[in-house]
Chain A
Amino acid sequence: MATIDLASAPTQGAAGGQLVASAAFLRRRAITGAVVRVFLFLAAALSVFITAAIVYILVYDSILFFQKVSIVDFLTDTEWTPVFEKPRFGIITLVSGTLMTTLIGLVVAMPAGTILSIYLSEFAGHRTREIIKPILELLAGVPTVAFGYFALFFLTPLFQIFIPNLSGFNLLVPGIVIGIMILPYIVSVAEDAMRAVPDPLREGAFALGFTRFQTAIRVVIPGAFSGVTAAYLLGMSRAVGETMVVAIAAGQQATLAYNPLEGAATITAYIVQISLGDLPHNSLAYLTIFAAGLTLFLMTLVFNLIAFWLRKKYREVY
């Protein structure tokens, strides 16, 4: 809706003392409204267009790729050696690396994020919250490269003291660091959702004799279910897409990742690695970028659909 420009709004008629809207005023309002609408539409259209363009490029180049490599090989082969003389394209290797680091990240971030959100929303006083939240936001602002080197040069040697057979490049430490990185996102969304649970619901629980903790677990979290799910999902999407930490600290060896103490490559780590090299465009190895990118896109899409379905199923109406 357009706002009324006070300066050009009609003033009180001298005779009647009533507000009279002139035709010119109404026309100006209609024009402002139309301009704003067009502008907003273009902004919305641009974001849709960009998404569509990305998907188009991914799909188009992937089709070129799959004309030369069979989809069955792509899904079932257990080797990933696109630049070898006899190239093999088993995406499972990269997918397993991605899933492993994501899983480790979530194992760290989901419990920690949930506990921290409960603490901030249900226990912490105003003061404490005002101190902790900016610190968390700061954590979200640290460049991922810094996290990568933190994992490689600080945490891995530290962990090697306790786990002697931990490789210098491994999936465990980057996974944990990813967990730390996505923590602020999870907390931010989950805490908002918990605080949006109406107070009368909490009072109902307290009136029955619930403690604060019981109220949080049995009333607030079920009440904030969709928001908490959204928080986990956001964290998961970021973990799946995280690039620098794994590229730096997990090594870039594309092997089937089943042992978190060994290094491996993830989809994203592979994409930066190959993009930085000087491969001729339209070579088969170059096209793997798009096939791998499409795989990543589809994985994220599936996660989103699952969360969408969960939210619909458990949607709370107050």
Chain B
Amino acid sequence: MDALTIEKAVAAPVDEPLRASVIDLSFHYGEKQALFDVNFPIHDRKVTALIGPSGCGKSTLLRAFNRMHDLYPGNRYQGEVILYPEQINIVSPAVDPMLVRLKIGMVFQKPNPFPKSIYENVAAGLWVRGIRKKSLVDDRVEFALTQAALWDEVKDRMRSSAYGLSGGQQQRLCIARALAPAPEMLLLDEPTSALDPIATARIEELIMELAPTVKIMIVTHNMQQAARISNYTAFMHLGRMVEFDVTTNIFTSPKERKTQDYITGRFG
């Protein structure tokens, strides 16, 4: 799919500004190329879902946004991920990955709370941004936990270990941890894949509630979830962006044959 069709696809509901554009993004894990000339836009305060069969590059693409790949030697980005309105290319080597990450929150596939108390987990992102004033930190922690729909369950045990929480609670704690510093961008990599259906439903609800407050939100997901919770959907296959469109279009009238095959369960 070329840039032209993307513009067409996006042309329809465009009364909302763009927050980011991915332009000809390619990525290598050492010798192995995992992304091939990916292009797609990201809209303001809308949920963008990345779908596609396992191994197609969803996580790889998502992790390019906060430069997670910089942690391991031999990884290479080509192309651009432009943030608006600043117009900076966040995958450029000239841009400090630490500054990029300070704008972005991330939630991982498996809950990964730190081996610390519940309070310390949520406060960690504030601490690292130099926010140390007790009353301010307390407020932000409570606010983030409330946003993540966890406050009532943990408010009496803030000083106990995060490992005492259930899997679903741990994942909501990780969401609160990501939300506490009020990030501009939130990345969620299959945030419910390790959870039971009830915990999954709570987190899906939460994602939809958060959409209006976070400028950029990208989620990788299985198909059904993407259909439920996203405004835009990007379908990927073998490291390429096959189709990007409003979620309802992707699921009801996909333009590409491959998308249709995937949606109807013919592969994946």
Contacts and interface: CB of A to CB of B under 8 A. Distances in A.
**Chain A partners chain B:** yes
B115 interface: yes
A125 B112 contact: no
Interface of A: 125, 198, 200-211, 214, 218-219, 222-223, 225, 316-318
Interface size class of B (residues with CB under 8 A): 20 to 34
Given A200-B112, A207-B101, A207-B106, A218 B71 contact: no
B104 interface: yes
A207 B163 contact: no
Contact of B163 (A202, A205, A316): A316
Contact of A209 (B108, B110, B128, B163): B128
Given A125-B73, A200-B108, A209 B115 contact: no
Given A200-B110, A201-B112, A203-B112, A208 B174 contact: no
B128 A210 contact: yes
Nearest to B129: A209
The 5 closest A-B pairs by CB, nearest first: A207-B106, A209-B102, A204-B112, A208-B125, A200-B112
B98 A204 contact: no
Given A207-B108, A211-B98, 6 more contacts: A198-B112, A200-B108, A200-B110, A207-B68, A208-B178, A316-B163
B112 A208 contact: no
Contacts, number: 67
Interface string B83-114: 00000000000000010011011101010111
Nearest to B125: A208
B125 A203 contact: no
A209 B114 contact: no
Given A201-B112, A222-B114, A223-B115, A209 B98 contact: yes
Given A203-B68, A204-B108, A207-B66, A214 B115 contact: no
Contacts of B104: 207
A222 B125 contact: no
A150 B185 CA distance: 59
Given A209-B125, A223-B115, A203 B71 contact: yes
Contact of A316 (B110, B115, B128): B115
Nearest to A197: B115
Contacts of A204: 106, 108, 112-114, 174, 177
B194 to A, nearest CB: 11
A204 B63 CA distance: 12
A203 B163 contact: no
B132 interface: no
Given A125-B73, A200-B110, A218-B124, A207 B105 contact: yes
B114 A218 contact: yes
A219 B114 contact: yes
